[in-house]
Amino acid sequence: MKSLTSHLTLASLFVLSMSSLHAESRAWSNREGKTIQAELVSYDSETKKVTLKLSNGTNATLALDALSDSDQSWLAERQSKLVEATAAIQVNSGKTVSYQSDGPEAVPYHVYYPTSYNPDAPPAMIIMFSAGGSGKGILGSVKDACETLGWVGVGCDVFKNNSDEAVLDKKWHEVLPHIEKTVPHDGDLLYLGGMSGGALRAYDYSESCARPWKGVLAFGGWLGGKESLNCAPKMAVAIVNGDADKNANSCVQRDTRVLERERCEVKTFSFKGGHVIAPPAVVLEAMQWLKTSTLAGNRISAGKRSPTPLDPDLMKVR
């Protein structure tokens, strides 16, 4: 094992353009027959470089021809699947596509791909929740803005108010990695959002899952009495309330203080109306602000972050 690791680190670091390949631990062998257990991080088909994550957590990059014939064949097959799946997703530009997580929770969700969508230059992604558990409905509220900004929009079903949160936590921890593996996106441009209880859920999930969340879009939402929010630092928060939404507006001042203590950038957007989603023009204004207010400083170190590479098999539309 030591000799193979040494052999790997002698090669120039190789970054796989297919960071979208499924990160599963498997045995890798070199030409001398030395074997280690490692996860695939990336494979660059142009430079013929492969990067593996070793069992000690470090990455090693090596030339493709340093690997055994069987490993090279495995990589070629995975790359072929990815190219095929990426081409299939590109066809969905401008469309809403429905998926379902493949674990025991089988969580349905819906994805809007903007017409400008290019898997080779993945855009930002916002994941939305509604109080009533309609993923497609809440996705519709941001679809036009996603189209204008070139973002991918995701709406998750089943996450609704007055549900057993322990059950929903299992669903969230299953569906989030599935979304990440299925939908090509910029992993450093992730946003959460929702309406009413869905906004509260977005706040909750910003602190319960280690991701570099860049912002929260909160329609008629609140922090639910939280005195702190252990979210990514410097996160942008757009609070979007109707001027007649007394309950939500009564929480704005207090929630803003809490969020600013967490070094969040907060801005309130108001419109004529009650406890409803804002008109499209206001939604776009708020999301544009989120985009321009996104700060590079709220990245999470590799040790605390748990990103999930894309899986070409899951990317296929079901």
Residue 56's pLDDT is 86
Residues of the chain with pLDDT under 50: 1-22, 296-312, 314-318
CB 112 within 8 A of CB 144: no
Q: What are phi and psi of 96, to 5 degrees?
A: -100, 125
Could you give the strand order of the β-sheet that contains 152-156, starting from the edge strand earlier in sequence? 95-100, 108-113, 152-156, 125-129, 190-195, 213-219, 236-242, 265-271
Give the integer Cα–Cα distance in Å for 239 and 197: 13
Domains, in order of start, for the chain: 2-89 (2.30.30.700), 92-298 (3.40.50.1820)
pLDDT digits 0-9 by tens, 250-304: 999 999 999 999 889 999 999 999 999 999 999 999 999 999 987 544 444 333 3
Distances (CA, A) of 221 to 90, 258, 276: 34, 14, 10
Sign of CA dihedral 293, 297, 302, 304: negative
Is the whole model's pTM more than 0.95, yes or no?
A: no
- Which residues have C-beta within 8 Å of that of residue 165, sequence separation ≥ 6? none
Residue 24's pLDDT is 66
pLDDT digits 0-9 by tens, 135-152: 999 999 999 999 999 999
Single-letter amino acid code for the residue at 144: D
Q: Which two tokens stand for residue 212?
A: 């570099």
CB 217 within 8 A of CB 286: yes
Single-letter amino acid code for the residue at 7: H
